[in-house]
């Protein structure tokens, strides 16, 4: 007894130490278990914690008494804990109480055994095993007698269950709790009644009730009844998208293996042309729509039925779906020619381009000329047809977005409206420059707008997108209207200050006006008659006071002082009528002109209208000079690329480019890039005298007075040369005035 007790004592002490450690670990979990929470709940949990702590104290005391072989006292304390559990005073469900209750049953069973009360010990071990079938009795420390007793009880209480299904892999639930996928092998369970449920996709769920006897082993085999069926799809060629009833089900791939040789042969296909099988699983019984699509091929639409075969529900194999290639061709021309053609981002050649074997459907097309702009758009190719594209290359605007970030992932205020408005531009391609403005600048918001965008970023955006114009905006402050301050850069001319203007975002008319302003090409030429007329008292028609030498009017014999009665049959009462009549006729038009000398008889002559270059004003606050510079630079390059280096349009574009540069104080650039490449003959109107004057003016502003004098003197010697247009004021008088200041 002493020995037994000694062993018992020893055997009791070690597990108790282990139990104490486990309890300590569990206690460390206690705060986590109890968690935080609302004050009331915290109080309640504090109370629960106190109760558990009290029972843990009881258990520690019981363990101590068992170790001290004070068995009655130990028995009493264990019983107190177990009663607490049974009556619900000891809250259940926490890892700690689970430890406390398990140890209490374990301890009391061993106390009973030490007291020789085997039946009660057996009862407690049974309770323990039912309470926790996996309770780890310490076989190394507890006496073999007690272990044997425990094993005897366990053999009587525990049953083993194995479940197999056909097909395997079904999800298995026991009393509603998932226990894994079939097959399930020898799961130990306390004897009792269990509900088994088995589920698998494509099969009806199956439920059974089992009565497990302690010590028994139950093998359960379940056959699942199918409720869906799979199909196998082959396509030729592979790479086709397969969808059933509008839902994507995969893409065929690879090539079929030798086992499908018969299938390929039957379909008249080489094995290598047949895709690997694509399994489309679990289709419900009934009719379905199968759609097979592949770029450059005609889509196939098949209707099929699915039925369940309880005996052989293996996938239904479809005949290979043979896809027919769908190709067309494209013919692309550009003005000017020589533009790189990119179809869906891939180089396809240079304009003019004809290319066959283009897949049907929409294609993104970019025509990009190194000098003369680009065209960005799309082209629809139809099967067997040639899609024609003939486009004039145009400027590109890169919309950099707003200079401040929007709220969490949203576009900045005004960005959507501006973006939508810009998309309506017809004369320019509109693109977004990649990732937009860097975060650091966005964070600066209005400061970025006030300081403007860094030149290197503008350059980078322009190079990446081929943009001529870069536009950014920031929400404008003040007022009740929603406005944006728009910044527009001439991307190829970093020295040009940006145009700044306020645009109302909440007024569709104002936005449209802004877009129209950007969309309206600056007129470079206009119809020209070559006569300046005035109105005077008593005269009913405009009176000619200047007839430009070699002008259409001069060639038609119009003379100073003559009244101009009508043009093209339209009666003229004022110089405004005359200007309006001229502007309504196309350049080069033939028209009849009725004139009357002072105190003479009227006569009719025929004139062929000419063209005059038109220059923008040098300091008009209403003009967007950065846009003007970008546009004029583009149009000059465009004309050159059209092999028209001496065209009137190119001359006018370069003159206007000079105006834009001079407005911005970029006189060097005006001399080098605009006036430098410009040569005009002498004579009346916009001519070499005009160029001399503008060069003289630039040089004068650059304080290169000696050179300025030379050019101004040349201009002063050209009495018929004009500024702004062939009908503009003479440059000679301006040159003389400037010379007087030297």
Partner 1 sequence: MPAATPTRVFALALLAWAAAAAGAAGAAASPADDELARRTYANAEQLLREGKIEQALKDFEQVSTAYPQSDMADDALYRMGSHYYPVEGFETLGTAGREAIARAKEIFSRINSRYPREDHAPRALYKLGLIALDPSNPQRSLDEAYASFSGVVNIYPGSDVVDRALFGAGYADFLAGRLDKAITSFEAAAERFPRGTAAQESRYHMGLAHARLGSAIRALEEFQNVRDVDPNGRLARRALDRLTQVHKLKVLPGLGVKPLFVLDERYAPALDPNTVKGEVSLAVDQDNVLRLLDSRTGSIVRLARDGRLQSTGQPLPGAVSVAVDPAGVELAAAGDRIRSGMELVIPSRQEGSGARPYEKITAVARVGTHEAALLDEGRNEILQYSGDPARLKLLYRDPSGRARLSGLAAGAEGKLYSIDRRGRKILEIPAGPAVQQGGAVREVPLPAEADRLLQEPAALAADDLGTLYVLDRRSRAVVVMTSDGRMLEAIEPKPGPSEMGYPAALAVGPGAEIYVYDAKRRTILRFR
Contacts of 109 (CB under 8 A, 6+ apart): 121, 122, 124, 125, 128, 146, 149, 150
Q: Which of the stretches 198-206, 308-316, 382-390, 570-578 binds partner 1 when contact is defined by CB under 8 A?
A: 570-578
If residue 46 lies in a helix (H) or strand (E), which one and from where to where? helix 39-67
Among 123, 316, 579, 702, binds partner 1 (CB under 8 A): 579
Q: Which of the stretches 159-167, 242-250, 493-501, 611-619 binds partner 1 when contact is defined by CB under 8 A?
A: 611-619
Among 22, 269, 543, 654, binds partner 1 (CB under 8 A): 543
Residue 716 Cβ vs partner 1, minimum distance, rounded to whole Å: 13
Among 70, 273, 333, 535, binds partner 1 (CB under 8 A): 535
Other CB atoms within 10 Å distance of the CB of residue 636: 28
Q: Which of the stretches 18-26, 135-143, 179-187, 733-741 binds partner 1 when contact is defined by CB under 8 A?
A: 733-741
Phi, psi at 113, each rounded to 5°: -60, -45
Other CB atoms within 10 Å distance of the CB of residue 275: 23
Structural contact between residues 428 and 374, judged by C-beta atoms closer than 8 angstroms: no
CA distance 69 to 16: 13
Residue with tokens 């107190």: 80
Q: Which of the stretches 150-158, 286-294, 487-495, 538-546 binds partner 1 when contact is defined by CB under 8 A?
A: 538-546
Residue 730 Cβ vs partner 1, minimum distance, rounded to whole Å: 7
State how far the alpha carbon of 178 is from the alpha carbons of 159, 186, 197, 204, 489, in Å.
Answer: 19, 16, 9, 17, 66
Q: Which is nearer to partner 1, 111 or 563 (CB)?
A: 563
Nearest to 688 by CA among 716, 658, 657, 650: 716
Residue 703, interface with partner 1 (CB under 8 A)? no
Among 272, 561, 645, 677, binds partner 1 (CB under 8 A): 561
Among 39, 479, 622, 681, binds partner 1 (CB under 8 A): 622
Residue 737, interface with partner 1 (CB under 8 A)? yes
Residue 17, interface with partner 1 (CB under 8 A)? no
Contacts of 292 (CB under 8 A, 6+ apart): 233, 235, 240, 241, 242, 299, 300, 301, 302, 321, 323
Among 302, 306, 618, 702, binds partner 1 (CB under 8 A): 618
Q: Which of the stretches 159-167, 217-225, 497-505, 571-579 binds partner 1 when contact is defined by CB under 8 A?
A: 571-579
Q: Which is nearer to partner 1, 73 or 535 (CB)?
A: 535
Residue 344, interface with partner 1 (CB under 8 A)? no
Q: Which of the stretches 267-275, 510-518, 607-615, 728-736 binds partner 1 when contact is defined by CB under 8 A?
A: 728-736
Q: Which is nearer to partner 1, 145 or 734 (CB)?
A: 734
Rg of the chain (C-alpha set): 48
Residue 620 Cβ vs partner 1, minimum distance, rounded to whole Å: 6
Contacts of 323 (CB under 8 A, 6+ apart): 235, 236, 237, 240, 292, 294, 297, 298, 300
Which segments of 587-647 does DSSP mark as H helices, in order? Answer: 625-641
CA distance 125 to 107: 10
| Number of residues in contact with partner 1 under rule CB under 8 A | 31
**Residue 346, Cα to own-chain centre: how many angstroms?**
21
Residue 582 Cβ vs partner 1, minimum distance, rounded to whole Å: 13
Q: Which is nearer to partner 1, 57 or 719 (CB)?
A: 719
Among 50, 176, 286, 621, binds partner 1 (CB under 8 A): 621
Q: Which of the stretches 336-344, 409-417, 497-505, 540-548 binds partner 1 when contact is defined by CB under 8 A?
A: 540-548
Sites for partner 1 among residues 464-503 (CB under 8 A): none
Among 426, 538, 569, 643, binds partner 1 (CB under 8 A): 538
Residue 730, interface with partner 1 (CB under 8 A)? yes
Q: CA neighbours within 13 Å on the CB side: how many for 224?
A: 25
Among 65, 532, 637, 650, binds partner 1 (CB under 8 A): 532
Among 620, 645, 677, 719, binds partner 1 (CB under 8 A): 620
State how far the alpha carbon of 152 is from the alpha carbons of 139, 143, 215, in Å.
Answer: 14, 14, 10
Residue 669, interface with partner 1 (CB under 8 A)? no
Residue 600 Cβ vs partner 1, minimum distance, rounded to whole Å: 10
Residue 734 is given by DSSP the state: H
Q: Which is nearer to partner 1, 332 or 543 (CB)?
A: 543
Among 227, 230, 574, 647, binds partner 1 (CB under 8 A): 574
Among 83, 298, 420, 619, binds partner 1 (CB under 8 A): 619
Residue 733, interface with partner 1 (CB under 8 A)? yes
Among 617, 645, 646, 679, binds partner 1 (CB under 8 A): 617
User: What six digits make up the tokens of 332?
Assistant: 């692309």
Structural contact between residues 713 and 735, judged by C-beta atoms closer than 8 angstroms: yes
Among 307, 599, 643, 706, binds partner 1 (CB under 8 A): 599
Is cis: bond before 52, omega within 30 of 0?
A: no
Which DSSP string corresponds to 665-677? T-HHHIIIIIITT
CA distance 419 to 412: 11
Among 35, 136, 571, 598, binds partner 1 (CB under 8 A): 598
Structural contact between residues 533 and 511, judged by C-beta atoms closer than 8 angstroms: no
Contacts 24+ apart (CB under 8 A), 31-40: 33/94, 33/95, 33/96
Q: Which of the stretches 167-175, 438-446, 630-638, 731-739 binds partner 1 when contact is defined by CB under 8 A?
A: 731-739
Residue 545, interface with partner 1 (CB under 8 A)? yes
Residue 46, interface with partner 1 (CB under 8 A)? no
Which DSSP string corresponds to 321-354? EEPPB-EEEEEEEEESS--EEEETTEEEEESSEE
If residue 499 lies in a helix (H) or strand (E), which one and from where to where? strand 499-504
Residue 539 Cβ vs partner 1, minimum distance, rounded to whole Å: 8
CA distance 518 to 499: 12
Strand order in the sheet with 316-317: 278-283, 229-233, 316-317
Among 364, 560, 589, 608, binds partner 1 (CB under 8 A): 560
Among 534, 540, 589, 646, binds partner 1 (CB under 8 A): 534
Residue 678 Cβ vs partner 1, minimum distance, rounded to whole Å: 21
Q: Which of the stretches 96-104, 215-223, 283-291, 620-628 binds partner 1 when contact is defined by CB under 8 A?
A: 620-628
Q: Which is nearer to partner 1, 322 or 546 (CB)?
A: 546
Sites for partner 1 among residues 424-463 (CB under 8 A): none
Q: Which of the stretches 28-36, 184-192, 249-257, 529-537 binds partner 1 when contact is defined by CB under 8 A?
A: 529-537
Q: How many residues does the chain have?
A: 742
Q: Interface residues with partner 1 (CB under 8 A)?
A: 532-538, 543, 545-546, 560-561, 574-576, 579, 598-599, 617-622, 729-730, 733-734, 736-737, 740
């Amino acid at each position: 007894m002493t020995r037994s007790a000694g062993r018992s004592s020893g055997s009791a002490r070690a597990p108790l130490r282990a139990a104490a450690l486990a309890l300590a670990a569990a206690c460390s979990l206690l705060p986590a278990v109890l968690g935080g929470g609302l004050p009331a709940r915290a109080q309640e949990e504090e109370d629960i914690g106190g109760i558990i702590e009290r029972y843990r104290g009881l258990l520690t005391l019981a363990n101590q008494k068992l170790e001290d072989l004070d068995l009655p006292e130990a028995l009493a304390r264990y019983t107190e804990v177990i009663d607490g559990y049974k009556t619900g005073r000891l809250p259940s469900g926490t890892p700690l109480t689970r430890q406390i209750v398990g140890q209490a049953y374990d301890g009391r069973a061993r106390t009973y055994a030490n007291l020789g009360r085997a039946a009660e010990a057996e009862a407690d071990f049974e309770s323990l095993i039912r309470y926790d079938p996996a309770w780890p009795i310490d076989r190394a420390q507890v006496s073999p007698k007690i272990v044997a007793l425990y094993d005897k009880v366990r053999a009587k209480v525990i049953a083993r269950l194995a479940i197999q299904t056909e097909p395997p892999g079904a999800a298995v639930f026991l009393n509603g709790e998932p226990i894994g996928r079939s097959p399930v092998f020898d799961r130990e369970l306390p004897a009792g009644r269990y509900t088994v449920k088995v589920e698998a996709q494509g099969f009806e769920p199956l439920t059974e009730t089992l009565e497990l006897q302690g010590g028994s082993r139950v093998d359960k085999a379940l056959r699942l009844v199918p409720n869906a069926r799979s199909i196998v799809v082959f396509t030729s060629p592979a790479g086709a998208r397969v969808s059933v009833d509008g839902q994507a089900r995969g893409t065929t791939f690879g090539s079929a293996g030798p086992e499908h040789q018969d299938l390929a042969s039957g379909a008249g296909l080489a094995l290598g042309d047949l895709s690997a099988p694509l399994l489309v699983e679990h289709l419900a019984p009934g009719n379905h729509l199968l759609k097979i699509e592949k770029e450059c091929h005609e889509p196939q639409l098949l209707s099929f039925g699915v039925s369940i075969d309880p005996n052989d529900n293996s996938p239904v194999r479809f005949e290979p779906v043979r896809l027919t290639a769908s190709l067309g061709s494209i013919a692309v021309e550009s003005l000017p020619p020589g533009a790189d053609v990119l179809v869906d981002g891939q180089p396809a050649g240079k304009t003019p381009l004809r290319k066959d074997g283009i897949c049907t459907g929409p294609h993104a097309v970019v025509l990009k000329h190194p000098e003369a702009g680009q065209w960005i758009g799309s082209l629809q190719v139809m099967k067997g047809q040639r899609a024609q594209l003939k486009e004039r290359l145009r400027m590109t605007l890169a919309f950099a977005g707003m200079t401040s970030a929007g709220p969490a992932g949203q576009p900045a205020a005004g960005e959507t409206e501006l973006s939508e408005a810009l998309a309506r531009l017809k004369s320019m391609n509109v693109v977004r420059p990649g990732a937009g403005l860097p975060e650091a600048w966005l964070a600066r918001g209005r400061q970025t707008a006030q300081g403007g965008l860094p030149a290197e970023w503008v350059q980078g955006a322009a190079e990446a997108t081929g943009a001529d114009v870069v536009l950014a905006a920031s929400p404008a402050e003040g007022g009740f209207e929603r406005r944006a301050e728009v910044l527009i850069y001439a991307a190829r001319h970093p020295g040009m200050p940006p145009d700044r203007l306020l645009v109302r975002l909440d007024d569709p008319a104002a936005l449209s006006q802004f877009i129209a302003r950007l969309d309206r090409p600056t007129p470079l030429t206009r119809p020209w008659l070559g006569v300046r007329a005035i109105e005077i008292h008593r005269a009913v028609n405009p009176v000619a006071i200047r007839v430009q030498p070699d002008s259409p009017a001069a060639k038609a014999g119009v003379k100073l002082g003559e009244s101009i009665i009508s043009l093209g049959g339209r009666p003229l009462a004022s110089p405004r009528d005359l200007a309006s009549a001229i502007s309504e006729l196309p350049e080069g038009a033939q028209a009849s002109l009725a004139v009357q000398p002072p105190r003479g008889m009227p006569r009719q002559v025929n004139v062929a209208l000419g063209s005059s270059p038109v220059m923008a004003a040098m300091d008009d606050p209403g003009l967007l000079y950065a846009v003007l510079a970008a546009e004029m630079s583009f149009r000059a390059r465009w004309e050159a690329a059209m092999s028209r280096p001496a065209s009137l349009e190119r001359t006018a574009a370069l003159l206007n480019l000079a105006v834009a540069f001079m407005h911005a104080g970029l006189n060097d650039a005006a001399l080098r890039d605009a006036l430098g490449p410009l040569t005009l003959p002498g004579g009346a109107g916009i001519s070499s005298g005009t160029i001399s004057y503008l060069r003289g003016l630039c040089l004068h502003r650059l304080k290169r007075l000696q050179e300025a004098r030379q050019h101004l003197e040349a201009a002063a010697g050209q009495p018929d040369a004009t500024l702004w247009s062939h009908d503009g004021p003479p440059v000679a008088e301006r040159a003389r005035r400037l010379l007087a200041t030297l």
